[in-house]
Amino acid sequence: MTAPAFLTVNDLALSRKAGGGVPFRRPAPRSILRNVSFALHAGECVGLVGKSGSGKTTLLRCLLAIDTPDHGLIACEGQPVRPGSVAKLRWYRRAVQYVPQDPSASLDPRMPVLSIVMEPLRRLKVECRPESRAEEALEKVGLDRSLFSRRPQELSGGQAQRVAIARAIATRPTFLLTDEPVSGLDMPTRDQVVSVLRDLVETHGMGLMIVSHDLSVVAGLCRRTLVMDDGEIVEDAPTGRLLAAPKHPATRELIAAAPPLHMHV
């Protein structure tokens, strides 16, 4: 018997007003998401891929309870998820955390590393000893204690990304949502960060969604992959099967554009 889904997305749709157009005429809405439905299970590692403009970022913003869809529902363990105040969303922010694409833009340059990782614990009122929990998270991502007192501008790109991951896992979430987590990193650093993410899934049982245009990252980590094109999920299949026998032209285009793919799973 399949366990109940941790996060469900049902029939999500979102449109925005298109710019330009005919003077004095109201611009027609442009569809960004259309009929998006899928489910994520605890401990699952899933890739969400698609070319630029396919709707990945908008879908991620909906999953993070930042954007409000026009239609449809996102639910976490059966409880509806909608944008709201910090207090109303505290339960969700503890359970679902986010790792941004550019950690240097999201890490406060005035704060030392340890304080950065403690910040969500205090803001979300997690019952724990913040300093001990933050140290534990930093150790999980392989950062040396000598870096705990440094500020973000004193870190390498790979170290900053590890701090961003540590900050996200400090609340001990059930699921991590990551946006291009190794974009812009050199290959050795990229491999190190991928190894950290793999360890979180395999050793600590954390669920993970990787949002990316890069199939090589997804092939190395994810057992299941969702492909977006023009605001829709056009394929949802085990990663190996999807790469071996893609059904949609958008999937075939992504595979053709990717470097040689090495499956970890």
Over the stretch 147-189, which tens digit does the pLDDT of each residue have? 999 999 999 989 999 999 999 999 999 999 999 888 878 888 8
What is the per-residue pLDDT for 262?
Answer: 57
Domain span including residue 178: 7-15+29-257
Cα-based distances in Å from 46 to 1, 36, 264: 20, 16, 13
Q: What angle do CA 114, 120, 122 make, to 5 degrees?
A: 90
- Distance, in Å, from the CA atom of 156 to the CA atom of 162, rounded to the nearest integer, reads 10
Domain-embedded: residue 87: yes
Q: What is the pLDDT of residue 16?
A: 83
- Reference 212, options 39, 41, 60, 40; nearest CA is 60
| 8-31 pLDDT tens trace | 999 999 998 765 555 555 655 788
Name the range with the highest mean pLDDT among 98-107, 111-120, 216-225: 111-120
Whether 61 is covered by a domain: the verdict is yes
Higher pLDDT, residue 264 or 117: 117
Decide if 23 is inside a domain.
no
Segment 39-44 shows an average pLDDT of: 95
For 137: left if phi > 0, alpha if psi spans -120 to 50, otherwise beta; the answer is: alpha
Predicted local distance difference test score (pLDDT) of residue 225: 97
Q: Residue 55: is its pLDDT beyond 60?
A: yes
The number of distinct structural domains making up the chain is: 1
Q: Residue 31's pLDDT is what?
A: 86
Query: Cα(239)–Cα(226) distance, rounded to whole angstroms?
Result: 9
Helix, strand, coil percentages (3-state) for the chain, rounded to 5, are 40, 25, 40
Q: How confident is the model at residue 38 (pLDDT cuts 50, 70, 90)?
A: very high
Eight-state DSSP code of residue 28: P
As given in the structure block, the two tokens for residue 68 are: 């409000």
Residue 64 lies in a domain: yes
Tokens read off for 11: 């029939």
- Min mean pLDDT across 22-31, 33-42, 160-169, 209-218 is at 22-31
Distance from C-alpha of 169 to C-alpha of 163, rounded to nearest angstrom:
10
Q: Does 11 fall in a domain?
A: yes
Residue 120 CA to residue 44 CA, distance in Å, equals 24
| pLDDT recorded at residue 261 | 61
Angle 244-247-251 from CA coordinates, rounded to 5°: 80
Q: Is residue 2 part of a domain?
A: no
State the chain's mean pLDDT as an integer: 90
Q: Is 183 inside any structural domain?
A: yes
HSE (CB half, 13 Å, CA atoms) of 33? 25
Task: Look at residue 28 in the predicted model and tell me its pLDDT.
Answer: 58
Tokens in use for 66?
């930042």
* Residue 171's CATH number: 3.40.50.300
| Position 111 pLDDT exceeds 80 | yes
pLDDT recorded at residue 204: 87
pLDDT value for 213:
83
Predicted TM-score (pTM) of the model is 0.89
Q: Which amino acid is residue 24, in one-letter code?
A: F
Residue at 40: amino acid letter: L
Are 35 and 13 within 8 A, CB to CB?
A: yes
| Distance from C-alpha of 258 to C-alpha of 140, rounded to nearest angstrom | 30
Residue 42: inside a domain: yes
